[in-house]
Amino acid sequence: MRRLPYFARELLGNYSPDDRFVYVSDGGHYDNLGLLELLRRRCRTIYCVDASGDGAVARTLAEAATLAYEELGVTLKVNGAPLARLPADAHEAHPQLRALQGRLAAGCVVTGEIKYPTGAQVTGVGRLILGKAVLTSDLPFSLQAYAAQDSTFPGDSTADQWFDADQFDAYAALGRWIGDKMVDACGARRQAVDNGAVSSPARTPASTL
């Protein structure tokens, strides 16, 4: 019987901090990326992986950016829009991609600048490297073939708790691919800093995550 009142409170979002039991959530309903807490800690370099199901729209990143500004005064400036969807006929000349038309994004990595407000313990500019679980035209052929036969990949619901071997391997391979792209993006930015094309973040004491 004890569980029923707590279930009702969960449905209504009505919790008391002085209650005997405290409701603990993973925060997905608030900031699905976990990005806000890293910004709260004034990290200078942040690697973030977005596995939400909003496709190439990057709506989850936009929501996190809004929260960051409203609650922390932190401004996120995204460089370009590489996650935009490609036109359906962009790869018409490649037969192996015809089944993926309309599902491809222009890229799987977004880079950006983080501007921390003055007066905080850590101020100045940091950097964000975000990898997004989307399909791109330069994916390995094995991932292209799997995506062509599975119309939900890589947007399977978290309600699916019974991945088979092929499904698990496909997500693991996609994760490695996106991770490599994030490392490449960070390396390209460092080279640009060395060449003077972009400015280096302020050298302030902060954690790098």
Lowest-confidence segment of 12-21, 118-127, 181-190 by average pLDDT: 118-127
What integer pLDDT is reported at residue 11 of this predicted model?
Answer: 79
Distance CA 57, CA 139 (A): 19
* 121-164 pLDDT tens trace: 656 789 999 999 999 888 998 999 999 899 899 989 888 889 99
Mean pLDDT value of segment 37-56? 86
Q: For residue 3, which amino acid is it?
A: R
Closest CA to 68 of 109, 108, 115, 25: 115
What integer pLDDT is reported at residue 208 of this predicted model?
Answer: 34
Mean pLDDT value of segment 43-57? 83
Distance CA 33, CA 28 (A): 8
What integer pLDDT is reported at residue 207 of this predicted model?
Answer: 37
Supply the mean pLDDT for the chain.
79
* 59-118 pLDDT tens trace: 888 899 999 999 999 999 988 655 666 665 555 546 656 778 778 888 899 899 999 988
Distance CA 130, CA 126 (A): 13
What integer pLDDT is reported at residue 205 of this predicted model?
Answer: 37
